[in-house]
Amino acid sequence: MLEIGSLPADVQRPGYDRSRLKTRMVHIGFGAFHRAHQALATDKLAEQGSDWGYCEVNLNSGALIQALRQQDLLYTLTEMADDSLHTRVIGVVTGALHGKGDGIDAVIEAMCQPDVAIVSMTVTEKGYCHLPASGNLNPDHPDIVHDLAHPQEPHSLPGLILAAIIRRRAGNLPPFSVMSCDNMPENGHVTRNVIVQLAERHSSELADWIKNHITFPSTMVDRIVPAMTDAAFASLTARLGCEDPVAVEAEPFFQWVIEDNFVSGRPAWENAGAELVSDVLPFEEMKLRMLNGSHSFLAYLGYLAGYEHISDCMADAHYRHAARALMMQDQAPTLRTNGVDLAAYADSLITRYENRAIKHRTWQIATDGTQKLPQRMLDSVRWHLRNGSDCDFLLLGVAGWMRYVSGVDEHGQAIEIRDPLKEELARIVATSEEGAPRVRALLGLKAVFGDDLLQHPGFVSRVTELYQQLCAEGARATVHALSQG
C-alpha cells in the first residue's frame, strides 16, 4: 500500500492541512478518469486554501474503495510525456463508500449531508439508463424497472440521485447541483432528462420541484487517461518503493469546460485551469466529434489492423492521415465554434495521440460502442446527409464498428466485446448473413441509429460498400485506400 512517508523526494505531497477539508461534494464513479481529472483540479484548489473535499462512491466494484481506505484516502497521479513524468499524491478525498458493501442507504445518506452542494459523476454513457439516440430515459432498462418498484433501494444512477433529492427535500436541506462529467453532448441536459422523467413516474409535483430547484450544469472534459496495466503498476512500484493499487496515469494535457450554473455554490475551479462558461455545447461537440470521434475510428480500425495502442496507429502514416482527415473534412464543418482554430486543434490532437508514454489501448476505447456512436459519429453523419456532402471517413468508422462487433478479428481470433447491448449484438450477428444483410440488421438497432438512417439509401449503400471492403481486404488496406483518395 501507499506509504507517503517513504516516497521519493521528487513526488509531490499535499501541502495543505487535510483535516480542514469538508465533504462538500459526492462523486459517483471513482474511476481512472475522475482520479486524474476533477479530483486533480480540486486538489490544486486545496493547495490554494480551498476546503472543498470529495466523498468518493463506487456503486459496483468495491476493490478500489477498499484499497483507498487502506491508504488513508490517498493515491498517486503520474503525468507522463515521451521524455518526462511527474507524480503527485492526491489528498482531497475525505470519504469513500461502496454501494454494495456499505449499503445503498449509506450512499444516499452521504448525499444528504448538509454541506454537500454538488453531486457529480463519471459512470460512462451506459450509466445513465438513457436512449442514446434521443437522450431520454429508457423506461425498460432493468435497473429503472427495479427503481420504480423500490425507490428507496435504487440500482440505477438516476434512481440513486432521485432518492437523495427526495430525502433532502423531506429534511428541508438545501438542493444540490448534479454535474455530469461523462462524454455526452449536453450531458447536463441528458442527466436532467433521466432524473426528471423518472421523477414524473412518481409524481408531476416532484418533477416540477426538481425542475425549479435543482441545476444540472453541463461540462466538457478532456484528458487521455489509459487504464492501468500490470506493467504500469510494476513500473510505478519500482519508482515509488511501494505499491499503490489506486494509482492512475495521464497525459499532461488537461481541459475542463463547465457551465456556471450551480445552485448552492462551487469550488473556484477556474483557479485550477477550468473554463467557466455560459454555454458548453460548442466545446462539447468539438471534443466529442474531433477527439472522441477520431479515437473511436482509430479504436475499431486500429484494433482490426493489429494495432494495440493509439500511438501504434500514429506510426502508420495512412492512419494518421485518416484521423486528421476525419477531424477536418468530416467533423469540423459540422461544428459551431467561433474563433477556434480547428486546424491547430486537430494538429494538437495528433501530437497527443503520438505520445508513446501513454499506452491507450484501442480495445479499451472500443468498448460500449452502442453508447458512443450517436454523439461521436452519427450526429455528424446526419449533418452531412442534410447538406448533401461526403463523409467517407465517418462512414468507414461506422463500418469499422460493424466489423468489430462481428466478434472475430482478421486472424479468426475472438474479440472480447464489452457493450451494454452485447447480447443483442451477438444475436444480430448470429442471425444475419455476412455482407449487406449484416449491415442492414445492425442499422436496425433503433437505440443507436434511430429510425432515419436505415431509410437513407445513399448512407446504407456506402456503409455497406466500406463494410464489404473491410471484410474482403482488411482494415489496413481499406484505411490506406481511403486515405490516398
What distance separates the 2 farthest-apart alpha carbons in the chain? 65
Is residue 332 within 8 Å of 342, Cβ to Cβ? yes
Closest by CA position to 263, among listed 339, 208, 202, 212: 212
469 with 429, same domain?
yes
Helix (H) or strand (E) holding 161, with range, is: helix 157-170
- CA distance to 100, 129, 141, 143, 172, per residue, from 153 (Å): 11, 16, 16, 11, 21
Per-residue pLDDT reduced to its tens digit, 107-153: 999 999 999 999 999 999 999 999 988 889 999 999 999 999 999 99
Per-residue pLDDT reduced to its tens digit, 351-385: 999 999 888 999 999 999 999 999 999 999 999 99
330: buried, middle or exposed (CB in 10 Å: 19+, 13-18, 0-12)?
Answer: buried
Q: How confident is the model at residue 2 (pLDDT cuts 50, 70, 90)?
A: very high
- Here the CATH number for the domain that contains residue 12 is 3.40.50.720
Per-residue pLDDT reduced to its tens digit, 258-314: 999 999 999 999 999 999 999 998 999 999 999 999 999 999 999 999 999 999 999
16 with 159, same domain?
yes
Residues in the chain: 485
Q: How many separate domains does the chain show?
A: 2
Is residue 195 within 8 Å of 28, Cβ to Cβ? no
291 with 261, same domain?
no
For the whole model, what pTM was predicted?
0.86
What is residue 5's predicted lDDT score, i.e. its pLDDT?
87
- The domain boundary, picked from 225, 259, 277, lies at 277
- Here the CATH number for the domain that contains residue 332 is 1.10.1040.10
- The domain boundary, picked from 232, 255, 277, lies at 277
85 with 73, same domain?
yes
Q: Which domain holds residue 170?
A: 4-277
Residue entry with cell 503498476: 233
250 with 327, same domain?
no
Is residue 143 within 8 Å of 202, Cβ to Cβ? no
Q: Do the strands 275-277 and 255-259 form a parallel or antiparallel pair, or are they unpaired? A: parallel
CB < 8 Å & 24+ apart, contacts of 439-444:
439/399, 439/402, 439/463, 439/464, 439/467, 440/464, 442/402, 442/405
309 with 266, same domain?
no
What does the alpha-carbon distance between residue 98 and residue 96 come to, in Å, rounded to a whole number?
7
What does the alpha-carbon distance between residue 315 and residue 37 come to, in Å, rounded to a whole number?
28
251 with 389, same domain?
no
Please measure the distance between the N-terminal and C-terminal CA atoms of the chain and give it in whole angstroms.
53
Is residue 305 within 8 Å of 475, Cβ to Cβ? yes
